[in-house]
């Protein structure tokens, strides 16, 4: 299966989660708006979600996948199973201890880390504590899910691990539909949502465990022990805690600062949900596929193929992300209006969310490029360099947020996050270049230049259409707004893809092949 097709397989599965996430956020917006319960829910959910992305998806998988792939390639399945069982035992013991302590000390954590700005509203603070306690076991489930996903990805089985996150949205959408139909009050709805998050974690773990067993890879629990391989894993995880989750750290910093402004946390979450769509479909797909592929290639000593993998990833990531960023910056108002404005989500909320989306979107290409260049370090078991780059980005984000928040409010926090992402990318790419570990080919440089030209041309078309169709885009009729927004997106996409295909910036045959199943290709497991 080609690299682009693997990206498409993972991106297609992830897009199901992101698109259903829009439905979820629209329903939360209709039920809770940007009020105190929405702020409390998002603040509470951010904390276990932060740990999940830092500890599970970020640091753990960054360290686990190269080591597991090495065991699989060098020692065979039996050695890989022994390593996985040792890791599983230590991981479960650590998670049980961490979860117990966090739940016990949750009031202190909310007051000092999660949302210190809620201190002036005791009811909001108490609600946040309760919701966080309900949702924190989600970290336990999702950390085990991350390990099982890493095993499947190392076996080049990408689809199942990418599709199970949709269960979170499916369950929460069900909760919200029932709550809205029964007219449940906002606080009870927030509690129902928290229990829905808990249930989704258990469901995802169930399906991933079943999927790993179907691959013939079973594990049993052992007595936790810090074996040499486990200590090596922990050594690699330490620096990767910052490296793999710098975006989440930045978002948490933003949340702490934003808790001083009523409704700011909700506004940033609504905007980030839209920004996460291309990041999820493209960036996460690249990160999931590229790390195990690079690890295998470097283990085999094929450095030319490693360069090829990164060049193609760079072209693919920028080719689909840069036009999305241009569209979000220039067309944020109509998009937010169409997706969210109903019920408790007012026109004023739309304007505030759209401003945050534009600021987030300026950093969208950087977020994806970080996913392209980080695996080049992790596959070589170099986690310290990205750690220092991430720390520099966090410092810039904190400083930028503190400087810009008094001036632009919640938009300043989004802008600071984007600035820090570009710094992180520049450091990653610059050091790889200096070391000689990555050199973009002449073809890649030409393609990137054409992608920039095509994105600029598309942006001009979007501005002209936005002005020409202003009356339809602001129509009170939802169907008219939907047709107008989709019309602008469709025309812009035609212009962009016509230019990149005509100039050879993106290969038409590869784009078509990425979304067409080849009979000769081994099928990914579709059923959970």
Question: Exposed (0-12), middle (13-18) or buried (19+): which is 394, by Cβ within 10 Å?
Answer: buried
The region of weakest confidence among 100-109, 177-186, 290-299, 440-449 is 290-299
Closest by Cα among 67, 10, 26 to 296: 67
Lowest mean pLDDT of 118-132, 150-164, 340-354, 474-488, name the range: 150-164
CA distances from 288 to 96, 195, 439 (A): 27, 29, 22
Distance CA 278, CA 325 (A): 9
CA-to-CA distance for 187 and 130, rounded, in angstroms?
11
Percentage of residues in the chain having pLDDT higher than 70: 80
Kindly state the tokens that stand for 140. Answer: 């336990």
CA 209 – CA 214 distance, rounded (Å): 9
Helix axes 303-330, 285-299, angle to 10 degrees: 170
Q: Determine the Cα–Cα distance for residues 8 and 286; give it in Å rounded to an integer.
A: 9
Q: How many Å separate Cα 279 from the centre of its chain?
A: 6
Residue 376, phi then psi, degrees to nearest 5:
-65, -30
Q: Is the pLDDT of residue 519 over 50?
A: no
Cα 356 from Cα 281, distance rounded (Å) = 21
The alpha carbon of 426 is separated from its chain's Cα centroid by a whole number of angstroms, namely: 20
DSSP 215: T
3-class secondary-structure state, position 341: coil
Q: Please give the span between the terminal C-alpha atoms of the chain, in angstroms, as a whole number.
A: 21
> What 8-state DSSP symbol labels residue 280?
I
Q: Which of the four pLDDT bands, split at 50, 70 and 90, describes residue 3?
A: low
Q: pLDDT by residue (tens digit) across 129-140?
A: 899 899 988 888
How far, CA to CA in Å, does 305 sit from each of 161, 186, 227, 327, 432?
A: 26, 54, 33, 34, 16
Render the burial of 135-151: b for 16+ CB within 10 Å, e for the rest.
bbbbbbbbbbbbbbbbb
Q: What integer is the mean pLDDT of 145-165? A: 77
Q: Where are the domains of the chain?
A: 7-440, 441-515
Is pLDDT at 100 greater than 80 in this prediction?
Answer: yes
pLDDT of 54 strictly over 50: yes
Q: Residue 363 is encoded by which pair of tokens?
A: 């950093």
pTM: 0.63
Closest CA to 489 of 457, 453, 456, 458: 458
Can you tell me the distance from the alpha carbon of 199 to that of 448, in angstroms, rounded to the nearest whole number? 43
Per-residue pLDDT tens digits for 398-457: 899 899 988 888 899 999 989 999 999 999 989 988 887 778 888 888 989 999 999 999
Contact 112, 104 (CB under 8 A): no
Q: What is the distance between the alpha carbons of residues 174 and 169, in angstroms, rounded to a whole number? A: 8
d(C-alpha 8, C-alpha 518), whole Å: 13
97 contact partners, CB below 8 Å, separation of at least 6: none
Compute CA distances 396 → 146, 415, 417, 459, whole Å.
29, 11, 9, 29
Give the C-alpha separation, 478 to 500, whole Å: 33
Whether 396 has a pLDDT exceeding 60, the answer reads: yes
Q: Which residue, among 157, 147, 153, 300, has the nearest Cα to 230 in the 3D structure?
A: 147
- Find tokens 């200096």 and name the residue: 434
Contact 326, 459 (CB under 8 A): yes
Residue identified by tokens 């919701």 is 131
Q: Which of 33-42, 184-193, 232-241, 381-390 shows the lowest per-residue confidence on average (mean pLDDT)?
A: 232-241
pLDDT band at 284 (very low <50, low <70, confident <90, very high): low
What pLDDT shows up at residue 176? 92
pLDDT of residue 528 exceeding 50, the answer is no
Given a contact cutoff of 8 angstroms between Cβ atoms, the answer to whether 492 and 457 are in contact is: no
Distance CA(372)–CA(387), nearest Å, equals: 16
């Amino acid at each position: 299966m080609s690299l682009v097709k693997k990206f498409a397989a993972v991106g297609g599965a992830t897009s199901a989660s992101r698109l259903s996430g829009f439905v979820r956020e629209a329903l939360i917006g209709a039920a809770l708006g940007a009020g105190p319960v929405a702020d409390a829910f998002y603040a509470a959910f951010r904390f276990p979600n932060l740990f999940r992305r830092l500890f599970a998806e970020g640091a753990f998988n960054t360290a686990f996948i190269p080591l597991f792939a090495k065991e699989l390639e060098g020692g065979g399945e039996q050695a890989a199973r022994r390593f996985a069982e040792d890791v599983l035992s230590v991981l479960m013991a650590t998670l049980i201890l961490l979860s117990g302590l966090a739940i016990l000390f949750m009031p202190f954590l909310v007051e000092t880390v999660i949302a210190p700005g809620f201190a002036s509203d005791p009811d909001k603070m108490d609600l946040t504590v309760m919701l966080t306690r309900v949702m924190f076991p989600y970290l336990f489930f999702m950390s085990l899910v991350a390990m099982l996903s890493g095993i499947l990805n190392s076996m080049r089985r990408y689809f199942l691990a990418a599709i199970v996150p949709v269960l979170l949205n499916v369950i929460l959408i069900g909760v919200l539909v029932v709550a809205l139909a029964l007219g449940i009050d906002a606080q009870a709805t927030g509690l129902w949502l928290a229990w829905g998050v808990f249930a989704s974690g258990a469901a995802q773990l169930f399906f991933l465990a079943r999927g790993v067993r179907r691959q013939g890879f079973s594990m049993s629990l052992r007595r936790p022990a810090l074996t040499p391989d486990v200590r090596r894993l922990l050594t690699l995880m330490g620096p990767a805690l910052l490296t793999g989750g710098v975006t989440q750290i930045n978002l948490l910093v933003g949340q702490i600062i934003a808790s001083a402004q009523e409704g700011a946390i909700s506004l940033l979450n609504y905007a980030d949900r839209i920004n996460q769509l291309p990041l999820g479909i493209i960036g996460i797909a690249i990160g999931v596929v590229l790390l195990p592929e690079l690890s295998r290639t470097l283990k085999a000593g094929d450095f030319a193929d490693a360069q090829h993998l990164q060049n193609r990833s760079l072209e693919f990531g920028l080719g689909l992300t840069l036009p999305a960023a241009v569209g979000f910056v220039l067309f944020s108002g109509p998009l937010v209006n169409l997706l969210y404005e109903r019920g408790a989500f007012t026109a004023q909320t739309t304007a505030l969310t759209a401003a945050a989306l534009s600021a987030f979107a300026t950093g969208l290409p950087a977020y994806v490029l970080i996913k392209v260049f980080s695996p080049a370090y992790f596959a070589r078991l170099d986690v310290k360099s990205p750690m220092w780059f991430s720390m520099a980005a966090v410092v810039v984000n904190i400083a930028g947020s503190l400087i810009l928040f008094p001036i632009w409010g919640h938009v300043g926090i989004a802008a600071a996050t984007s600035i820090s992402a570009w710094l992180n990318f520049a450091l990653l790419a610059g050091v790889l270049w200096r070391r000689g570990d990555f050199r973009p080919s002449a073809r890649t440089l030409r393609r990137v230049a054409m992608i920039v030209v095509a994105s600029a041309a598309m942006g001009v078309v979007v501005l002209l259409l936005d002005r020409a169709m202003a009356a339809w885009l602001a129509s009170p009729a939802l169907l008219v707004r939907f047709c107008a927004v989709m019309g602008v997106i469709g025309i812009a996409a035609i212009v962009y893809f016509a230019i990149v295909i005509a100039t050879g910036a993106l290969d038409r045959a590869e784009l078509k092949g990425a979304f067409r199943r080849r009979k000769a290709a081994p099928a990914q497991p579709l059923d959970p």
